[in-house]
Amino acid sequence: MKRLLPYIKPYWPLILLALGLLYVMASTDLALPDYLSQIINIGIQQNGVDTPVPEVIRASSLENMALFQSEQDKAVIADAYHPVEPGSAEYASLSERFPALGQEPVYALKPLDASAAAALEQAMTKPLVILYGFQMMEQNPQQAAALLSPELAERLKSLPQGANLLTLLTQLPEAQAAEMKNAITRHLSTLEGTILRQMAVRAVGNEYSALGFNLQKNQTSYILRIGARMVLMALLAVATSIMVSYLASRTSAGVARDIRAAVFEKVAGFSSAEFNNFSTNTLITRTTNDVGQVQQVIFMVIRMAFTAPMIGIGGVIRAIDKSPNMWWLIALAVAILVMFIMLAFALALPKFKIMQNLVDRMNLVIRENLSGLMVVRAFNKQDFEEQRFDKANREVTGTLRFIGRVMTTMFPIINLIMTGLSVAIIWVGAREVAQSTLQVGNLIAFMQYSAQIMFSFMNLSMLFIFIPRAAISGDRIADVLETPILIRDPQEPQQLPKPVQGKVEFIDVDFRYPDAEVDVLHDISFTALPGQVTALIGSTGSGKSTVVNLIPRFFEVSKGSIRIDGVDIRSLKQRDLRAQIGFVPQKGLLFSGTIDSNMRLGDPNADEAVIREAIEIAQAADFVYGKPEQLNAEVSQGGTNFSGGQKQRLSIARALVKKPPIYIFDDSFSALDFKTDAALRKELKKKVGASTVLIVTQRVATAKNSDQILVLENGRLVGQGTHQELMKTCQTYQEIASSQLSQEELA
């Protein structure tokens, strides 16, 4: 994949933007449990009161609190509150929420900055808790006493029912009162953190109630307020998520488009040497499927791989924030989970890989059975084939079973790990709560973060199945893109002298495939003259086809040179060179479109008459003009709606439309029956007589009447001359001829 980075580069801004949005998405996602914990902690547990610093407080309460405050704290409180004057604007607005405001003098909170607010909270928490204890005294003296201090509880037993403790305290002798205060303060200092704060908040709630404040309504509206924020967050999440998808789609589809175009252009520029190094099928796969794989994985990486760490990190930060003592639980669970998933993959992944081979093997056996139906039955080998298949089938089934078992075990265990984590969180969390370092709402939120974190890691590890596959695809693509192109146009191209005659000369030409050890052609020298037919004959692998493929520079000579009208073809632009050649390949190849569009490949502006003539020479008139659509008859992809012979004739006609000075027929007549072959050559001789014609063939009959026959064997020119000459001088030619023709015909 690294090798494809240049193609991803132009999309960096989009990717970065997506990352930013993902951060927002992760935050909003993680915000929801946070809000839930607020609903539980504040909305439910604290009646919607979220601070231990009351907005308004009765003068009498302030006085009572003062009993338990240091001078310093008293000053802080005195600074923060001011009396509310009846009749003032402030009074009016407050009395709406606190209808009992007029019953006694009250103080209201001044606007404060953050540090002053923190100092105030510090100063007020404990006195408020004590106040809370005294307030409770009236309903539940026992519990209140327990709250304030156990010593007090002992003493209170002796007191008459309904006595006001505060009044009592002021009435007590100095020393005794001080002792009692100390006892309370000592006890409170054993309580700490969240519990103390929550108690103070309760006191504030009670204070508010005393002032006629509707606590229940406040609670409901608090929950609704948080709920509204949650909806907002959810909306934000969905919006960012869709935006990320948008960016990811554009990026992945864009990268795919660019790579596809680059590979296509690269391959179009390949010479046959580079092309054959791959093979048509893998090149097609590399340009289509492999690019698709890369596209898919880019999308997934942006959507999933990036999200996972964001949620993971964000979740960890929030989890630590909620409870600094429990993050290790999550870390442990993630470690176990990841280890387990890796283990499962380690077990199953090699089997997955084998699986493909086994399935291929099974298919192969069936395919062989199908393609050899007659042979199998002729030899009565049905049982043997069935046994072969059974073996392959057993292997596939066995592997399937193994993979199935690993997977089927994996899911319940992953579930168990997740459940175990929740249970552990509640177990450990309960102790944290007891030590009042954690609130219950936070515990629930913590559980949810832990789930989010686990899932993001799970997703991440799942991605590891896809990435290696895409990485292989990426490499296969990069292999194509990085292939050096061997045949290039010269810096200063020459022009052929006009008019082009078409004389083709081979001068001591050697040819060797790139990376091969031996030459395919040795010392080939000949001249093909305009107005003559030069036939190349030889058995398979003799190199005859290679010779003519050198002329349009599909391959480059290794030694020697090829000249056209005396000009070395390497000093011409490939375009200019190929414009002089009408090339008909071994296989008749047509392109989707119409017959007309195929004919015009050679010359887009060709006359209808020229096309007609070409088709007639190629013996294709009967089936072309026999169709109702004639030239406009549709040609499907690869020309599959035409027979082999028809395709061959059309591809000959296509070359004829071009009217070039040089014709090359690379074994182009093999798909034609002898009769058509003969008729075609007869017409050809008549119509293109002035051109240079090179014909590669295996048929002596085709070569027999040529002006010049070149006989190739093992890459060497072993005979050159006319049929009659060669019959006398060339042994190879004689062998070929005698295997094909009868004695009379050879004469």
Q: Segment 677-706, which members bind other proteins (CB under 8 A)?
A: 678-679, 681-682, 685, 698, 701, 704-706
Q: Which stretch binds other proteins (CB under 8 A): 63-71, 164-172, 177-185, 377-385?
A: 377-385
Shortest Cβ 655–other proteins spacing (Å): 8
Residue 281 CA to residue 222 CA, distance in Å, equals 67
By beta-carbon proximity to other proteins, the closer residue of 179 and 390 is 390
Pairing of strands 56-58, 106-109: antiparallel
Under rule CB under 8 A, how many of the chain's residues touch other proteins?
196
Contact (CB, 8 A) for 555 and 549: yes
Provide the token pair at 65. Answer: 């609190």
Q: Is 364 in the site for other proteins (CB under 8 A)?
A: yes
Q: From the list 54, 127, 602, 661, which residue makes contact with other proteins (rule: CB under 8 A)?
A: 602
By beta-carbon proximity to other proteins, the closer residue of 16 and 375 is 375
Any idea what DSSP says for residue 43? I
Q: Is 217 in the site for other proteins (CB under 8 A)?
A: no
By beta-carbon proximity to other proteins, the closer residue of 505 and 667 is 667
Using CB under 8 A as the criterion, what x/- string covers residues 625-654 for binding other proteins?
------------xx------------x--x
The DSSP code sequence of 133-189 is HHHHHTT-HHHHHHHH-HHHHHHHTTSPTT--HHHHHHHS-HHHHHHHHHHHHHHHH
Q: Is 661 in the site for other proteins (CB under 8 A)?
A: no
By beta-carbon proximity to other proteins, the closer residue of 112 and 601 is 601
Report the candidate in 163, 209, 175, 172 with the shortest Cα–Cα distance to residue 58: 209
| Distances, alpha carbon 239 to alpha carbons 232, 392, 738, in Å | 10, 51, 82
Q: Is 250 in the site for other proteins (CB under 8 A)?
A: yes
In degrees and rounded to multiples of 5, residue 528 shows phi and psi of: -110, 120
Contact (CB, 8 A) for 673 and 680: no
| Distances, alpha carbon 237 to alpha carbons 31, 232, 234, 456, in Å | 10, 9, 5, 16
Shortest Cβ 116–other proteins spacing (Å): 27
Site for other proteins in 45-74 (CB under 8 A): 45, 47
Q: Is 533 in the site for other proteins (CB under 8 A)?
A: yes
Site for other proteins in 129-158 (CB under 8 A): 133, 136, 143-144, 146-147
Q: Is 88 in the site for other proteins (CB under 8 A)?
A: no
Shortest Cβ 563–other proteins spacing (Å): 19
Q: Is 377 in the site for other proteins (CB under 8 A)?
A: yes
Site for other proteins in 445-484 (CB under 8 A): 447-448, 450-452, 454-456, 458-459, 462, 465-466
Q: From the list 151, 368, 489, 596, which residue makes contact with other proteins (rule: CB under 8 A)?
A: 368
Using CB under 8 A as the criterion, what x/- string covers residues 263-282 for binding other proteins?
-xx-xxxx-x--x----x--
Residue 531 CA to residue 576 CA, distance in Å, equals 21
Q: From the list 19, 316, 426, 481, which residue makes contact with other proteins (rule: CB under 8 A)?
A: 426
Q: Is 248 in the site for other proteins (CB under 8 A)?
A: yes
Q: Is 27 in the site for other proteins (CB under 8 A)?
A: no
> Phi-psi category of 54—alpha, beta or left, where left has phi over 0 and alpha has psi -120 to 50?
beta
Shortest Cβ 348–other proteins spacing (Å): 7
Evaluate the CA torsion angle 201, 207, 209, 213 in order and state its sign: negative
Contact (CB, 8 A) for 477 and 291: yes
Q: Is 502 in the site for other proteins (CB under 8 A)?
A: no
Q: Is 415 in the site for other proteins (CB under 8 A)?
A: yes
Contact (CB, 8 A) for 123 and 76: yes
Q: Is 238 in the site for other proteins (CB under 8 A)?
A: yes
Q: Is 585 in the site for other proteins (CB under 8 A)?
A: yes
Report the candidate in 457, 459, 465 with the shortest Cα–Cα distance to residue 337: 457
Q: From the list 99, 102, 227, 497, which residue makes contact with other proteins (rule: CB under 8 A)?
A: 227
Provide the token pair at 12. Answer: 């960096």
Q: From the list 100, 109, 172, 304, which residue makes contact with other proteins (rule: CB under 8 A)?
A: 304
- Across the chain, which distance is largest between two alpha carbons, in Å? 150
Shortest Cβ 113–other proteins spacing (Å): 30
Site for other proteins in 543-582 (CB under 8 A): 552, 554, 574-575, 578-579, 581
> In which residue are the tokens 């100092």 written?
119
Q: Is 380 in the site for other proteins (CB under 8 A)?
A: yes
Q: From the list 87, 160, 173, 412, which residue makes contact with other proteins (rule: CB under 8 A)?
A: 412
Q: Is 198 in the site for other proteins (CB under 8 A)?
A: yes
By beta-carbon proximity to other proteins, the closer residue of 54 and 312 is 312
The DSSP code sequence of 437-489 is SS-HHHHHHHHHHHHHHHHHHHHHHHHHHHHHHHHHHHHHHHHHHTPPP----
By beta-carbon proximity to other proteins, the closer residue of 41 and 84 is 41
Q: Is 254 in the site for other proteins (CB under 8 A)?
A: yes
Shortest Cβ 366–other proteins spacing (Å): 6
Pairing of strands 692-697, 662-666: parallel
At 104 the three-state DSSP class reads coil
At 586 the three-state DSSP class reads coil
